[in-house]
Amino acid sequence: MKTYDKCYIDGQWVAPIASTKFQLLNPATETPFATVSLGGVADVDRAVSAARRAFASFSNTSKAERIALLQRIVELMTAREDEIEAAITEELGTPRSVRIHAGAAIASFKQAIRTLKDYEFEAHLGGNIVRREPIGVCGLITAWNWPLQLLATKYSMALAAGCTAVLKPSEFTPVSAILFAQVLHDAGVPKGVFNLVLGDGPTVGNAIASHPDIDLVSFTGSTRAGILVAEAAAPSVKRVCQELGGKSANVVLPDADLKTAASWNVARAFANTGQSCHAPTRILVHKDQADELLTLLCEEASKVRVGDPQNPATTMGPVVNKAQFERVQKYIHSGIEEGARLACGGLSRPNGLQRGYFVKPTIFADVQPTMTIAQEEIFGPVLAVLPYSTEQEAIEIANGTMYGLGAYVFSKDSQHGREVGRQLRAGRVFLNGKPSNTAAPMGGYKRSGNGREMGVFGLEEFLEVKAMIGFEEPVAA
């Protein structure tokens, strides 16, 4: 049994002032593998104080200095990639064969380097100077589903901007964050520039969101929790950037390659055991092609290998914990109760798995847009197939939830696909399964959030705008 009993504050590992023990369970075995000491409000206070002290000097570092620091972080994360992936397999249940987490985090830092190299912090506008300056001390609160990539995406840009930060990872996946803090320490991040406080949302998360000396809070998690963060942040009028829930639609147009669309949709929707806010969990298909597509989807789902994450043959592991397992089971039950047709998968664990929070890859047919499984974020390997009669109806169904994080379009005619994509109210729209990239801004419409991450837009979330009027140098005659 491992023990993690310290927070990282002001450049050193320190015991929390008043800690609470929290046991970590391996989601594949349901057995404890570590205990962590969760901090409290007093630990947030001293972390914020350290970050505030460090900001004065770090905000004045040069681009070259910050680029060099980012490059050292990339080198050290790359060297420890296997160790980091192993930790995430243990705490989250991601199969060893997948290896998606550390690479995504490293890519975030590489993007921060590229963005920073090309970014100009000062420009001339209408006879004025417009400067972008680091906003200050940033509170970063991240979710458990992408435990390393989420914090790397936020912190890489905060550091590139010249900000200091206090990070709270999910209490369910803190080990990867601890390894991340070790990497930053070894890379020479100045003391106070990065601080890690382990804790839960109601205590540490709320303390960060409401803290008067934090200038920005960047949160990734559920819409419900995001509302609480915004409410806590409101009295201090700090900037709030949120990447929240999703219920992404994949609009398969009649001219699309159905086999390609089915193969891609199952792979993307069930990746990370469906625990992804961008997962295309609603697949919209013309009613005349619904049966054909459904057959192809179930064929692809049958290829998913659910089981022990340590087994190289496994392609899908468990969900993160008991509460999430029960949540997914509840949604599957609601789909059955509300009249959707179960095409494959269903309730309980897959055959042969007696322990662990494993879920059957599940696909529902004949789903109506008003059904619970078509409206609410499930966060598990559950896919809803919705038929449509006309293209306009498909667009209305795709836009017909409270979310607007991602959307997908499949069509052999890229121009037609673009026309449909323009009508989808989502922060990211992908054509024909095009892979994501870290230069494109990520964020949502509606209740999927109000900020943007990655690339130039992600950097500018951590910058404040200053107009300098009358400081423009006269033009030489």
Residue ranges of alpha helices (H) inside 119-196 are: 149-161, 175-187
Q: Which of 54, 452, 462, 3 is nearest to 198 (CA)?
A: 3
Distances (CA, A) of 250 to 56, 179, 384: 47, 36, 10
> What are the CA-CA distances from residue 81 to residues 152, 154, 403, 437 (Å)?
14, 19, 34, 20
Q: How far apart are CA 372 and CA 332, in angstroms?
A: 10
Which H/E stretch holds residue 41?
helix 41-58
Distance CA 421, CA 369 (A): 19
Contact status, residue 201 vs residue 224, Cβ threshold 8 Å: no
Let me know if 120 is a catalytic residue: no
Q: CA–CA separation, 245 vs 300, rounded Å?
A: 26
Q: Active-site residue among 243, 300, 377, 460? A: 243
- Which of 277, 300, 344, 461 does the annotation list as catalytic? 277
Pairwise CA distance, residues 183 & 73, whole Å: 7
The residues with which 218 forms a beta bridge, in sequence order, are 140, 241
Residue 243 known to be catalytic: yes
Number of other CB atoms surrounding residue 466 within 10 Å:
11
**Catalytic residues, which ones?**
243, 277
